[in-house]
């Protein structure tokens, strides 16, 4: 899947690539995911994309859902800062 204004979309929809990305981002003493697969929930071309990832951890075949959102570069940076301040 590609979108010229969302260059990371091709990586975000590549399950093999996201296995490594999610393993690094979610590493809190967890094992490396056995598998990752995704479902695009909403894609507004040129603006944003919402992806749900299903992460198989290997603990009794437990699958954990994680939501990811992609935005255009400037908007994404602004939204990230807003969410960071909200969390604080």
Q: Tens digit of pLDDT for each residue in 30-84? A: 677 789 999 999 999 999 999 999 998 776 668 889 999 999 888 888 888 898 8
Left, alpha or beta for 61 (phi > 0: left; psi -120 to 50: alpha)? left
- What's 32's DSSP letter? P
| Predicted pLDDT of residue 43 | 97
pLDDT of residue 30: 67
Q: How far apart (Å, rounded) are the C-alpha atoms in residues 69 and 50?
A: 5
In three-state secondary structure terms, 22 is helix
pLDDT band for position 3 (cuts 50, 70, 90): very high
Those residues whose C-beta lies under 8 Å from the C-beta of residue 58, and which sit 6 or more positions away, are: 31, 33, 34
3-state secondary structure of 31: coil
């Amino acid at each position: 899947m590609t979108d010229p204004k969302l260059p990371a979309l091709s990586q975000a929809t590549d399950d093999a690539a996201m296995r490594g990305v999610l393993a690094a981002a979610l590493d809190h003493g967890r094992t490396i995911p056995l598998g990752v697969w995704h479902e695009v929930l909403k894609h507004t071309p040129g603006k944003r994309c919402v992806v749900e990832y299903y992460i198989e951890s290997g603990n009794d075949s437990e699958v954990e859902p994680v939501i990811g959102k992609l935005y255009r570069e400037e908007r994404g940076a602004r939204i990230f800062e807003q969410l960071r301040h909200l969390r604080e």
